[in-house]
Amino acid sequence: MIRLVVSELLRFRSRRLVVVLLGASLIGTGVGLTIAAFRSTPPTAEALATARARAREEVAACLVQDWEGMFEGPTDQFCQDNFGDPAQYMGSHLKLADLPGILESISSITSIMGLVVGASVVAVSWQTGTINTILTWEPRRLRWFAARILVIAAGVFAMTLAIVAVLSAGLALAAATRGSTVGTDRAWLSDVLSSSLRIGVAASISAVIGAAVAAVGRHTAAALGVVFVWTAVIEGLIRGFRPHWMPWLLGDNLASFLTWVSTDVQIGPFESYPITPGRALFVILGYTAVTLALGFTFVRLRDVH
């Protein structure tokens, strides 16, 4: 099994698509960071003092408003949280404290990348004809597919972490020279690390789903089409005609998992259902298990042509 995994790892590394996607992602990240750095306005001491004064004025104005029944908790805390951040009243500049949110915003891109890589790496065996040799060895079919799935998941996870590392390092450098590093404490670092891991896991899951669907459809385009139709069309129809099924949709659960906060989905005119991050992970793994079961079944039963 170890030799099989090593062989699949070499195949994964030699795939031109993998190299091109990773290189393009890293180059795009670098270009985006460069543009953002040049457009950023470094906060001067005078601008910071003005912003702090404006924040105090806004908080004072908030405290005299009538907020009764509009939110829970003390009014002073509400005003401080919503109007007391001086950064809201400063010119545009990079803030390293925003890194967790920026990482979550690129999760859709890394997940799409994982989906394309997973589908392509599996479908290429059918498109090149090498699958005929593999399928003649019936006892090795499932071991081969398991090894390829393992390599795909690990490879996409590593690719995603590489992109996240470059983005984080570049933003840290840009924020230190032309932005702000205020608010980067230990809690922030923990948030960055956990967000990075969740993004990597989500990309790996997307890759595994793409690989499993490609094992059924035998073509990269077919796998991408099936996933697109499910997420964009079928889940959209379910939201419109069967809102009570929304807590079980892949897209809504992915959103809760990536942000790691509970989200409420509206399942009726006056009824909502909370999706917790733990439950979201359970549902996502359920989708992955079902697609993997289909992939293994088709690999095991498919005839050699």
- pLDDT digits 0-9 by tens, 56-88: 888 888 887 877 767 677 777 888 888 887 877
Inform me whether the pLDDT recorded for 249 exceeds 80: yes
Confidence of residue 168 (pLDDT cuts 50, 70, 90): very high
Among residues 101, 86, 70, the alpha carbon closest in space to that of 260 is found at 101
Q: What is the pLDDT of residue 123?
A: 86
Among residues 157, 158, 152, 128, the alpha carbon closest in space to that of 292 is found at 152
- Percentage above 70 pLDDT, the chain: 96
Tens of pLDDT, residues 266-275 = 877 778 888 9
Confidence of residue 285 (pLDDT cuts 50, 70, 90): very high
DSSP labels, 176-228: HHHEE-TT--HHHHHHHHHHHHHHHHHHHHHHHHHHHHHHHH-SHHHHHHHHH
Mean pLDDT to the nearest integer, 203-209: 95
- The rounded Cα 76 to chain-centroid distance in angstroms is 35
Inform me whether the pLDDT recorded for 152 exceeds 90: yes
Of 63-77, 238-252, 291-305, where does the model show the most confidence? Answer: 238-252
Q: What is the pLDDT of residue 47?
A: 78
Inform me whether the pLDDT recorded for 194 exceeds 90: yes
Q: What is the pLDDT of residue 161?
A: 96
With beta carbons less than 8 A apart as the criterion, state whether 196 and 101 touch: no
Give, rounded to a whole angstrom, the gap between the first and last alpha carbons of the chain.
26
Please tell me the pTM assigned to this model. Answer: 0.84
Inform me whether the pLDDT recorded for 127 exceeds 80: no
Q: Is 42 left (phi over 0), alpha (psi -120 to 50) or beta?
A: beta
